[in-house]
Amino acid sequence: MIDIIQGSTYAADIDNLILLMGVLVGFWFFAAEIMFFWLIWKFRAKEGQKSQYLDGTENHVKKWITWPHGLVLVCDVFIVIFSIMVWTNVKQQLPVADSTIRITGQQWAWTFQHPGLDNELDTADDIFKVGELHIEVDKNYHFKLESRDVLHSFSVPIFRIKQDAVPGRSITGWFNATVTGEYDIQCAEICGIGHGVMGARISIGDANQHAAWVAANSVSTTP
Partner 1 sequence: MSDTAVALQHDEHDAHAGHHGPQGILKYLWSTDHKVIAMQYLFTGMFMAVIGGFMAYVFRMQLAFPGISVPGFGQVSPGEYNALVTNHGTIMIFWVAMPVLVAAFGNYLIPLMIGADDMVFPRINRLSYQIFLLSALVLLGSLFVQGGGFGGAWTSYPPLSAVGAYNQTQLGSSLWLIAVALEFVAFLLGGINFITTLMNSRAPGMKAYDIPLVAWMIVIASILFMLSVGPLIAGAVMLLFDQTLGTGFYDPARGGDPILWQHLFWFFGHPEVYVVLLPAIGITIDIIATFARKKVFGYKMMLYTTVATGVLSFFVWAHHQFVAGIDPRMANVFTVTTLLISVPIAELLFVIIATLYGGSIRLTTPMLWALAFMAEFLIGGVTGIFLGASGADIYFHDTYFVLAHFHYTFFPIAIIGSFAAFTYWFPKMFGKMMDERLGKIHFWGTVIPFNFIFIPLFVLGMGGQHRRIYNYQHFPELASAEMYNLREIATYALLVMLTFQLVFFFNCIKSWMNGKAAGRNPWQSNTLEWTTESPPPHGNWPVDEMPNVYRGPYEYAHPDREEDYWPQNEPS
| 19-48 residues near partner 1, rule: CB under 8 A | 21, 25-26, 28-29, 32-33, 35-37, 39-40, 43-46
Binds partner 1 by CB under 8 A, chosen from 166, 176, 203, 221:
166
Give residue 25's region: left, alpha or beta (phi > 0; psi -120 to 50).
alpha
Q: Is the peptide bond before 108 cis (omega within 30 degrees of 0)?
A: yes
Binds partner 1 by CB under 8 A, chosen from 118, 120, 131, 169:
169
Contacts of 19 (CB under 8 A, 6+ apart): none
Q: What angle do CA 162, 7, 215 make, to 5 degrees?
A: 95
Give residue 170's Cα distance to chain centre. Answer: 19
The reply to whether 84 sits near partner 1 by the rule CB under 8 A is: yes
Binds partner 1 by CB under 8 A, chosen from 23, 64, 122, 131:
64
Contact 39, 187 (CB under 8 A): no
The reply to whether 103 sits near partner 1 by the rule CB under 8 A is: no
Report the alpha-carbon distance of residue 145 to residue 174 in Å, rounded.
Answer: 10
The reply to whether 148 sits near partner 1 by the rule CB under 8 A is: no
The reply to whether 186 sits near partner 1 by the rule CB under 8 A is: yes
Size of the site for partner 1 (CB under 8 A): 85
The reply to whether 96 sits near partner 1 by the rule CB under 8 A is: no
Judged by CB under 8 A, the stretch of 126-134, 164-172, 202-210, 215-223 that binds partner 1 is 164-172
The reply to whether 59 sits near partner 1 by the rule CB under 8 A is: no
